[in-house]
Chain A
């Protein structure tokens, strides 16, 4: 009788003690990181969606820049093939593959945008100007989404590696650290510069 009452009394505190060890907080932080990752992918997708229009506009003015145009089209095709779902974000290899593909597209795009300097007609084309500013905004969004994602990853990784949540992370969830975004290639951090 005595023991039972004690157990009844202990139950809420056991629940609270568990809550203090991150039983709720760890999945919350993980879901947050996944949501931020979805934002990152959305913004990259948005960039990929802008490219066909950009390519056809540039083609109209600078048809003999064929190699630059092909490079962009190829890089886009490759980049859209590599998708990383929310469950894959703790897989460093997949993340690296994704980043490499996107970085390659960033580089190819930068070359394509640099081409416009040589074609005054292209530079004055309203459609091109509009695409250019959409692309500029999208590169900015990618940068913001990436830094938001990294902040969420840092919060999650810190949580699962510090006491007392580290115990819950290991015992209950078997949590693995999530891979943050890194600037791997030298020019990865610099978006194609768009000058007016």
Chain B
């Protein structure tokens, strides 16, 4: 979808370019066309699927953008949520937003969850209680890893029986508290299978967290070091036998290799590939790992659109 304006720009620019140089030979025009094509292809690759929605920053387990919680209630709620994460390894986030930007709440919610990385990567055990007071909409977004306990039907029950009555009476903080309590209650129940998966994900998160603060060695870097060492070594051998004939000719190769390293790291392939670490979770914020208490940021959890929503 993002390629359409690019293609239009293509037509416009190349037309103007040709118009400005009427003496161009056809062969040269072909080359320019090809170059434009290449540049635009690269642009299209860079232009990732348009992130239409703008989300608030993930600053804590309670993100009260719409400002409906008094400071003391917010602090108490944050404590409750941090204790829940410490106890179970699952992450529950309360988010209030000023606007859904015209989107459906369930659609907004799952994208918010993915963008923040609520829950742990692999275990996908995050939950979001999302409130949009201006649109009078509320929703519970569940990660696939906890849907065995917190089913869609049960999120519907929580919304209908705990949250909506309080919201209808105008008591937003009370409704949020009641909803959070109900979610925590069901998610604190034992579920062996889910717990085993979560334990593994917690260990992985803690390990990765430590590593990123200590500065690990990416696999791609090792690979390229070996390649460079090989080239340098071979170059020395050759130089020892044939004198300076090929001196300095390896530079382009090194530049290329260095460029590849930079690219491979920035695109996130190889080491730690693809975990949504941009979402927060600075490595030294808690010092105690995922279940050590305090705000850890997101763990790269994903969402599949499960949960339910309603209005009041």
Q: CB within 8 Å of B: which residues of A?
A: 5, 9, 12-13, 16, 20, 39, 129-134, 136-138, 140-145, 151, 154, 158, 162-163, 196
Contact with A along B155-174 (1 / 0, CB 8 A): 11000100000000000000
Question: Assuming A133-B156, A163-B38, what are 7 further A-B pairs, CB within 8 angstroms?
Answer: A20-B260, A133-B152, A136-B152, A136-B309, A137-B307, A141-B304, A158-B44
Query: How many B residues have CB within 8 A of the partner chain?
Result: 31
Contact status A162-B44, CB under 8 Å:
yes
Interchain residue pairs with CB less than 8 A apart (21):
A9-B231, A12-B227, A20-B260, A131-B153, A133-B156, A134-B152, A136-B156, A137-B306, A137-B308, A138-B152, A140-B106, A140-B107, A140-B306, A141-B304, A143-B107, A144-B303, A145-B304, A151-B49, A154-B49, A162-B41, A163-B38
CB <8 Å contact, B306 and A163: no
| CA–CA, A20 and B259, complex, Å | 12
Contact A133 B41 (CB under 8 A): no
Q: Which residues of B contact A (CB under 8 A)?
A: 3, 37-38, 41, 44-45, 49, 106-107, 110, 151-153, 155-156, 160, 227, 230-231, 234, 238, 253, 260, 303-310
| A142: B residues at CB distance < 8 A | 305
Tell me the minimal C-beta distance from A134 to chain B in angstroms.
5
- B306 contacts which of A5, A132, A141, A154 (Cβ < 8 Å)? A141
- A134 B151 Cβ-Cβ under 8 A: yes
- The reply to whether B227 and A163 contact each other, CB–CB distance below 8 Å, is no
Contacts A9-B234, A12-B227, A196-B310 given; does A133 touch B153 at CB 8 Å: yes
Chain A residues in 8 Å Cβ range of B303: 144
Chain B residues lying within 8 Å of A138, measured Cβ to Cβ, are 152
Q: Given the complex of chains A and B, what is the CA–CA distance between A140 and B104 in angstroms?
A: 10
Taking a contact as CB atoms closer than 8 A, the residue among A9, A39, A136 that contacts B308 in the complex is A136
Give chain A's interface secondary structure class: helix
Contacts of B310 in A (CB 8 A): 196
**B-chain residues with CB within 8 Å of residue A163 when the two chains form the complex:** 37-38, 41
* A129 to B160 Cα, complex, angstroms: 11
Residues of A within 8 A of B153 (CB): 129-131, 133-134
Which of chain A's residues have a CB closer than 8 A to the CB of B152?
133-134, 136-138
Determine how close the nearest CB of chain B comes to the CB of A57; give it in whole angstroms.
Answer: 13
> Which 7 interchain pairs have the tightest Cβ spacing?
A137-B152, A133-B156, A144-B305, A140-B305, A130-B153, A162-B41, A141-B305
- CB neighbours of A9 from chain B (8 A): 231, 234
Specify which chain B residues have a CB less than 8 angstroms from the CB of A136 in the assembled complex: 152, 156, 308-309
CA distance A144 to B106 in the complex (A): 10
Tell me the minimal C-beta distance from B267 to chain A in angstroms. 11
* Known contacts A133-B152, A133-B153, A163-B37; is-contact A12 B230 (Cβ 8 Å): yes
